[in-house]
Amino acid sequence: MLDTVKSTLLSMQRYSWEQGVTAQAFLEAGDDDIVIAIAYDAINRQTADGRPANIGQQNGVTDPVAVIPALIRAVELTADPFLEDGLEKAWQWTLVDAPRSESGILYHMDNTRQFWVDSLYMLPPALLAGAHADEAVKQADGYIAALWDKDTALFHHIWNDETHSFDAPNFWAVGNGWAIAGLARLIAALPASHAKNRARYIDIVEQTINAALSHQDGWLFHNFLDQADSFIEVNFAQMLCYTIAQGTKQGWLPAPLLATAQDIRAEIKKHVSPHGIVHDVCGAPHFDKLGIAPEGQAFYILMEVAFGT
């Protein structure tokens, strides 16, 4: 089934963040040939300002950055000047040219002054993959400060840095998934010099997981975690399982959480068709109803790899 889900994902049309999480899924699965192929197409579709994997009229600032870890791997494997040049341009965008706040935190889009929780997955892990640990922590801390609600231990979706208010205050499940999965990648790879930050991120992830579990409905979760009238979907459950599997395997999450994740994982598998389509995720392209989505496919792969499938 994992191979079928992979094939189905590669058959889907993908925007920049979808290409990024697809690349990450195959990177973590050890499928280097596919990682290289994705990297070539990401640079083939690089815009003049350095944003890779960009198609259509997309205004994403951090979304295109998500493919950078795959680009780094592809450069290591091929030493192709085409990829090397594309990666250098992607770093110029990420580190220098991308629009950011007065404190240096990258906005999510180039036409608004908004911080989106999605960026916690797209940007800091990419910076860390390029050995920019201090910048990765700076960006992660900026998003956490703007979006993590200490009282509920959940993440809001969108903060408007111009109006100093939330444009999307809801605790979107998939948004919380982006946050904890992105932080899990930081926790796994931060150098010893950032031990205090690593411990702080572990605490935030554990609090967020426990808060999410308090809103569980059956084995799954509502699209807005604390709103029982919103639809129940599958992708946050996959993101949660991925994070728990990584955290328990690496020893920074309590081992009993793994049994909970295994039960959730068993429910998720009921929503995967024989054709490898993960159904009932928060659906593309608008993510406002049940459907299918490349990120739903990718996180099934990431989840299964994390569990050692």
Q: Give the DSSP letter string of 209-263.
A: HHHHHTT-BTTBEESBTT-TTSPEESHHHHHHHHHHHHHHHHTSS-TTHHHHHHH
Above 90 in pLDDT, residue 253?
yes
**For 109-121, what is each residue's pLDDT tens digit?**
999 999 999 999 9
**For 159-204, what is each residue's pLDDT tens digit?**
999 999 999 999 999 999 999 999 999 999 999 999 999 999 999 9
Rounded to an integer, what distance in angstroms lies between the CA atom of residue 93 and that of residue 96?
A: 6
CA 6 to chain centre: 17
Q: What is the pTM of this model?
A: 0.97
pLDDT value at residue 277: 98
Handedness of CA 237, 9, 5, 72 (dihedral sign): negative
pLDDT value at residue 58: 81
Above 80 in pLDDT, residue 216?
yes
Among the listed residues 205, 187, 83, the one whose alpha carbon sits nearest the alpha carbon of residue 136: 187
State in words which class domain 2-306 has. mainly alpha
Q: What are the structure tokens assigned to 91, written together?
A: 């770093």
Mean pLDDT in the chain? 97
Handedness of CA 32, 34, 36, 39 (dihedral sign): negative
The SS3 call for residue 107 is coil
Domain boundaries, the chain: 2-306
